[in-house]
Structure 1
Amino acid sequence: MDQERPLAERYAVGRLLGRGGMAQVHLADDLKLHRPVAVKTLRPECAGDPSYRERFLREARSAALLNHPGIVAVYDTGEHTAHGVSVPYIVMEYVEGRTLAELARGEQPPTAEQALRMTAGVLDALAHAHECGIVHRDIKPANVMLGADGTVKVMDFGIARPLGAQGATLTQTAMVVGTAEYLSPEQARGEDVDTRTDLYSTGCLLYELLTGRPPFTGDNPLAVAYAQVRDAPERPSARVPGLPPVCDTVVLTALAKQRDQRYQSAEQMRAAIEEALTRLDGAPATAEATAIAPTAREEQPEQRRRRPSRLLWSAAAGIAALLVAGAAYAASGPSGPAPSQAAGTVTVPDLLGKTVSQARTGAQSVGLRVVRSALGGCPAHAPRRRVCGQLPASGARMARGGTIRVQLSTGTRGRQAAVPPAE
């Protein structure tokens, strides 16, 4: 980029902020409004490829539809000539801070509370995008900034798509679309996506903030994508001893292989995180706040977390000796409790397709109870008055006496209606 002449006679381009496979970002000064901005340009060697240009311009179009403090704003777009090639550019809000990827892998990783709060900020932004009919499809720590003022900012809507759009999700014209470590199983299989795809990726993001690495890694992207489809994730607390059990519950529900076993909306996952934060603070939780099943005892405030290679969490006196095991997904079959699991926890049964009475009986048989949380919002083929969704997902571990919240089908496609809890 020619930094001697203002871009579009308006933007004085300065230092390079970052460079990716298809684009680069410079800090610039808006000479008209006298404010710093970030100018993202497609790299000249990619500018001649129609697929790269379309992805780049899609980012501008998608972000321009969104107006939310948790989403990096797009101010302007256009094209300039570089080395005889017409190169598109996007002028965006400049966020001074660090990406969540830098934070997760830094010398001072975030605490569990900080990780949950940052993820809640991501979910706020996603709730707005989903309400506007946009699925991001590439949520990952590197695509989220934490501003100097603590504000979380989601960016890079380059592969975002409107809800209902058809087409391949893993590869297009030999270009990788999405990042293997954060791909949902449906993306890895090349299926159509919906808002719950972003929630799976957000679960991967939270996992990395809590443990310092994504739930699945491998020698190549294909191996990682295969693991997303096939393998059950290791619970975060198995990687970071002392991590509060509520973190396991939130993460493993978000990472359910089947979409109907995950949180069904960004708002629902955010509510679960708020409940988890309440438990970390040691305050009493309300049954209506979220779908996180209450444990027999409240956890004490967390201690500063370090990765296993550094100082581990200090054990808080009086903390309940309850560990939540990783969810056993239908794709990989149920698994028994790990030897390290504390006594007093049970495996959540599969209640899908059961009547309320059958669900209550099944839950009571393992020392749990059922509460209705919603009516409707299920697939049209789901039998009337049968369970079509549950939280926590089947196979998860939770304290005996905990609550499973279920969603019942109306038998038709209809708006989801809140239903008072029924004991």
Structure 2
Amino acid sequence: MGRCPNCGAWGTLVEEVQRPEKADRKSRVNLAGQMAKVERLNEVDLAETPRIATQLAEFDRVLGGGIVPGSLVLIGGDPGIGKSTLLLQVSGALSKQGRRILYVSGEESAAQIKLRAERLGVDGESEFYLYPETDMGQIRKAIDEAQPDLVVIDSIQTMQQPDVQSAVGSVAQIRETTADLLQIAKTNNITIFIVGHVTKEGTIAGPKILEHMVDTVLYFEGDNQRSFRLLRAEKNRFGSTNELGVFEMVHEGLAEVTNPSEMFLEERLADASGSAVVVALEGTRPVLVEIQALVTPTVFGNAQRTAAGIDRNRVSVLMAVLEKRANLLLQNQDAYVRAAGGVKLDEPALDLALAVAIASSYRDQGTRPTDAFIGEIGLTGELRRVPRIKDRVLEAQKLGFKRVFLPKQALDASFKGLSIDLVGVKTLSEALEQALA
């Protein structure tokens, strides 16, 4: 059968030979032959597993403060985006701290990895071991012999279990290989990073159970036409999933971008219409991003709504609110909206900046280059407060902005002493009147 009768997907049915489970696969046994034991919760010693800092601040932030020993981390992304480069740099940084690294590659030879390591400046004289192998039986033996602190598997789709009678990269192979790696990580307190390929839809290839088994799922995003890369956590048992790490791909590898707000605003035109700056929140970090809008009369029967980096439905709702509450005739206008810099925004605080950008383009009237906007817009045209407004205002002040528009009810005594001008507004019409004056 080529097509699954339940979900309708092609090529998902895999023949599996039912074999009796081996005795050593039923319980968790580490490489030394010791089995897991029952412990009281208050007797578990967390001092034995402190977080490990990789010296890459952006990477550590996304993980929740560093690597947790014994964790299983899955990192996915488009081909050529820099997954292997990132893990090679992380491995090199940890090896300089005296950690023992085992880099297992099923896609490159040892010589090819060495060439890339030299370009990235990774020291080859430390405890850094390469092992080009795809057989999980041999990999388990290598882990037993090397006793590493960190293992990198590049990639999970190239690994195979010799006792599983199915093709390499199949659902059965990926599931069994990940289960074996999970057992090794948990019973021996070894951190394992797994590189996963992605499908055309952008999801990690293989069964969904793969993401359920691991502790952390990271997505490395970016565009081959741009040098910037974004690292996000889709799942994290040891930290927040809202953090964002920003890197720039240079000749020497991935360089950290410590102030992404300047990166997103560096090419902004001062007097252009259809532009507004939002102070968005990515985890615990405020980020200033330019929202661009282009509103033109439609030449088709129905007006088009196109969005990049912003939810298209949010654009449609805000345009309806603008038409109803701000008296802008937008039903016969095409609207093209994007978040500059390739970043993806999905929080209510961008509503006000998005509405101002659309109105600015419609009226062909630019906003002040030193204005920033924070606030959620309701369907009745009112402005609602959003979390951590003071942190957002301080970030705008640090980058030289002179004025911030925000909900009036959010103004309180905590803002006293700031050198930036705060404009409190109650309605969308009031905000447009002052921002486009």
Q: Above 0.5 in TM-score?
A: no
Normalising by structure 1, report the TM-score: 0.30
Higher RCO, 1 or 2 (CA under 8 Å, sep at least 6)? 2
Over alpha carbons, which structure has the higher Rg? 2
Normalising by structure 2, report the TM-score: 0.29
